[in-house]
Structure 1
Amino acid sequence: MYKILANTIFLGKDVHFLPDCHSTNDIALNLVRTKQAQEGSIVVCDHQTKGKGQRGNMWESQAGQNLTFSLVLRPDFMDLSEQFYLNMAVSNSIRRLLHDYLPYLKVKWPNDLIVPEYGKLGGILIENTFSGKEWEYAVVGIGLNINQLSFSSPNSTSIRAITGSQFDLEELFRLLVTQLEKGYIQLKKGKWNEIKSEYLMHLYRIHSWEKYTSQGEQFSGKIVGINAEGKLEVELLDGEIAVFGLKEISFV
């Protein structure tokens, strides 16, 4: 049972634990819409049956083996055009916590967590609600493979599969939420350059020539950065910098 956290300022003071659910993001969004959630509310589920990933993908997770939860934030201090900074702050927070166990953990744009040579460890899905043109709430869904050892996808892995150690999920949850709160406060304090620099420092394939596909064609490119809207900047062989949004480029 996941309890209210005592070591945070506002995250995790309202925890909704469900043994089974279809999607923590859907439940958190419903709590927001029905005014049953506040900034810092968390929905955590022991067995998520229809977890959502980027690009409409499903998130596979065995019961009692991983961390699947969603937290409610109210980043109304940010402009809608700046929302990728929230993705970067969350990605940085997760990577910081896991660095001691997985020093080679990378963030794969836009917000997957992978360990090169092993596979995908987790992902982040942020869904927003708006009031007119104002940002009302952000629901941050996080899925991390912790103790699961078997996957239907050969590209998936877990901390236990890599390290050989089994982890206490509740303890890891407590530590992670504490780190997420620190990252969010860093965002609130306007330390955006620091957030972006840290994100780029650990970005998968940055400054390396690799293969990609876009609009059905394969090409060589080198990731050189992220623009203000969170789009991927890729240098092409002719020196041109091409910019790609979500679903516009695939990693080969």
Structure 2
Amino acid sequence: MYKILANTIFLGKDVHFLPDCHSTNDIALQMVRSGQVQEGAIVICGYQTKGKGQRGNSWVSEPGKNLTFSLVLKPAFLDITEQFVLNMCISNAIRKVLQDYVPYLTVKWPNDLVVPDFGKLGGILIENVISSKSWENAVVGIGLNINQLVFENEKATSLSKITGNNFDLQELFRLIITQIEQSYLQLKKGKHKEIKNDYLSHLYLKNQIASFRSENGDFSGQITGIDEQGKLLIEDETGELRTFGLKEVAFLD
């Protein structure tokens, strides 16, 4: 169904389409560890039964309606401490493509794609293979709600639900992979500052008063940015700047 991409340099030259599977990330990770695939390989599934999201959440997708795929990267040119810059790079690339259809699209830290007042459009889960010496591989799992109209989760939405249009999945796939490759090549050139600035300029709830929950209870504050490790910076109602890693803070808005 999904063909090898002709207009890319290395991404999408090895495409593995599965009508259905449990998790494209799990399959891609197995292929990486067994030496079956190289950088640029993509596993894409028509119906993913046990997709994974951040915080251990599941990703439920209606058959044949959405894009669920994983791509293999080899970011050995980055230090292990720079893992979040890859998250920003991928998030930026997908947002750039989808904002042509929903221009008010934002990125909810760390890497959910959210349309304010509508809901979550998609998410990204990066699972890394790291040795004692270097960052060997990154399997980038991407789930995007495209043509699905009914969701069990009331916080979920789709391009079709927002716009009223039906979308060509193969064409969107081509556009997204092409943009990811362009953004990844910029990352290879060391454009970290530009990538971070782009990410922050579309960060959900940045500089807005919102409600959050941490292990110490609920509080109000505003997101001011992220630190060098990608942790979220929130200035609370007392003026204290607090730092949160993954799973350490929840959005209540």
- Does residue 98 in structure 1 map to residue 98 in structure 2? yes
Matched, 1:113 2:113: yes
SS at match of 2:247: coil
Q: Which residue of 2 aligns with 1:75?
A: 75
Q: Do residues 86 (structure 1) and 89 (structure 2) align?
A: no
| Residue equivalent to 1:142 | 142
**CA distance in 1: counterparts of 2:237 and 2:17, whole angstroms:** 50
Q: What letter corresponds to residue 34 of structure 1 in structure 2?
A: S
Structure 1 residue 237: deviation in Å? 1.9
Distance 2:178 2:236 in 1: 40
Aligned to 1:83, what secondary structure does the other structure show?
A: helix
Q: What corresponds to 1:205 in structure 2?
A: 205
Amino acid at match of 1:88: M
Listed as ranges, the gaps of 5+ residues in structure 2 are: none
Alignment pair present for 1:51 and 2:51: yes
In 1, Cα distance between equivalents of 2:131 and 2:209: 42
Shift of 1:131: 2.2
1:101-139 per-position Cα deviation (integer Å, ceiling 9, x unaligned): 000100000010010100000000000012223110000
Separation in 1, partners of 2:121, 2:42: 21
Query: So what's the TM-score if we normalise by structure 1?
Result: 0.99
State how far apart, in whole Å, the 2-side matches of 1:152 and 1:33 are.
Answer: 35
Aligned to 1:15: 15
Tell me what 1:128 maps to.
128
Measure how far apart 1:99 and its partner are.
1.0
What whole-Å deviation, never above 9, does each CA across 1:189-244 have from its counterpart, x for those lacking one? 10000000000000000011111111151111110010011100001122211000
Aligned to 1:217: 217
Could you list the runs of 5+ residues in structure 1 that have no partner in the other structure?
Answer: none
Residue 26 of structure 1 corresponds to which residue in structure 2? 26
- What SS does the corresponding residue of 2:165 show, helix, strand or coil? coil
Q: Partners of 1:226 and 1:133 in 2: how far apart?
A: 26
Residues paired across the two proteins, number: 252
State how far apart, in whole Å, the 1-side matches of 2:180 and 2:83 are: 16
RMSD of aligned Cα (Å): 0.7
How far apart, CA to CA, are the structure 1 residues paired with 2:213 and 2:174?
A: 39
Taking the aligned partners of 2:39 and 2:247, their CA distance within structure 1 comes to 30
Name 1:4's counterpart in structure 2: 4
The amino acid across from 2:49 in the alignment is T
Aligned partner letter, 1:122: G
Distance in structure 2 (CA, Å) of the matches to 1:47 and 1:98: 21
Identity of aligned residues (%): 65
Q: Hey, what's the Cα distance between the residues in 1 that align with 2:76 and 2:214?
A: 34
Q: Distance in 1 between matches of 2:96 and 2:224?
A: 22
